Structure 1
Amino acid sequence: MKPIITAAELASALAGPRPPVLLDIRWQLGGPHGRPAYEAGHLPGAVFVDLDAELASPPGAGGRHPLPEPEAFGAVMRRAGVSADSSVVVYDGGQGWAAARAWWLLRWTGHADVRVLDGGLAAWTGPLESEIPVPAEGTFAPAPGALPLLDADGAAAQARAGLLLDARAAERYRGDVEPIDRVAGHIPGAVSAPTTENVDKEGRFLPAEALAARFFERGASEATETVGVYCGSGVSAAHEALALEIAGFTPALYAGSWSQWSSTDSRPVATGSQPG
Structure 2
Amino acid sequence: MNPIITASELASESAGEYPPVLLDVRWQLSVAKAAGEPAFDGRAEYAAGHIPGAVFVDLDASLAGPAGAGGRHPLPDPDVFGAAMRAAGVSADRAVVVYDGGQGWAAARAWWLLRWTGHQSVRVLDGGLAAWTGPLSTEVAAPAPGSFTPAPGAVPALDADAAAALARSGLLLDARAAERYRGDVEPIDRVGGHIPGAVSAPTTSNVGPDGRFLPAGELADRFKSLGASDAPEVGVYCGSGVSGAHEVLALAVAGYEAALYPGSWSEWSSDASRPVATGPERG
> 1:225, 1:250 within 8 Å by CA — same for their partners in 2?
no
Please give the alpha-carbon distance, in whole angstroms, between the structure 2 residues aligned to 1:225 and 1:27.
34
Please give the alpha-carbon distance, in whole angstroms, between the structure 1 residues aligned to 2:239 and 2:231.
24
Please give the alpha-carbon distance, in whole angstroms, between the structure 1 residues aligned to 2:13 and 2:279.
47
Give SS of 2:258's match: strand
Please give the alpha-carbon distance, in whole angstroms, between the structure 2 residues aligned to 1:92 and 1:4.
13
Aligned to 1:111: 119
Please give the alpha-carbon distance, in whole angstroms, between the structure 2 residues aligned to 1:196 and 1:236.
9
Q: Does residue 1:195 correspond to 2:206, yes or no?
A: no
Give 1:96's match in structure 2, choosing from 96, 104, 110: 104
Please give the alpha-carbon distance, in whole angstroms, between the structure 2 residues aligned to 1:70 and 1:269.
31
Identity of aligned residues (%): 75
Aligned to 1:137: 145
Amino acid in the other structure paired with 2:50? H
Please give the alpha-carbon distance, in whole angstroms, between the structure 2 residues aligned to 1:226 and 1:10.
33
Give 2:263's match in structure 1, choosing from 249, 256, 259: 256
Aligned to 2:95: 87
Aligned to 2:57: 49
Aligned to 2:240: 233
Please give the alpha-carbon distance, in whole angstroms, between the structure 1 residues aligned to 2:3 and 2:78.
21
Aligned to 1:5: 5
Amino acid in the other structure paired with 1:244? L
> 1:226, 1:249 within 8 Å by CA — same for their partners in 2?
no
| Unaligned ranges ≥5, structure 2 | 31-38
After the TM superposition, list the runs of 4 or more consecutive aligned residues in structure 1 that deviate by more than 2 angstroms.
223-226
Please give the alpha-carbon distance, in whole angstroms, between the structure 1 residues aligned to 2:156 and 2:40.
32
Aligned to 1:156: 164
Please give the alpha-carbon distance, in whole angstroms, between the structure 2 residues aligned to 1:156 and 1:226.
13
Amino acid in the other structure paired with 2:171? L
Q: CA deviation at 1:225?
A: 5.6
Please give the alpha-carbon distance, in whole angstroms, between the structure 1 residues aligned to 2:217 and 2:190.
37
Q: CA deviation at 1:171?
A: 0.2
Give 2:278's match in structure 1, choosing from 265, 271, 275: 271
Name the TM-score, length of structure 1 as normaliser.
Answer: 0.98
> 1:224, 1:249 within 8 Å by CA — same for their partners in 2?
no
RMSD, matched Cα: 0.8
Aligned to 2:26: 26
Please give the alpha-carbon distance, in whole angstroms, between the structure 1 residues aligned to 2:46 and 2:91.
23
Amino acid in the other structure paired with 2:69? A
Q: CA deviation at 1:224?
A: 4.0
Give 1:246's match in structure 2, choosing from 248, 253, 261: 253
How many residue pairs match? The answer is: 275
Amino acid in the other structure paired with 1:238? A
Please give the alpha-carbon distance, in whole angstroms, between the structure 2 residues aligned to 1:253 and 1:20.
26
Please give the alpha-carbon distance, in whole angstroms, between the structure 2 residues aligned to 1:10 and 1:245.
19
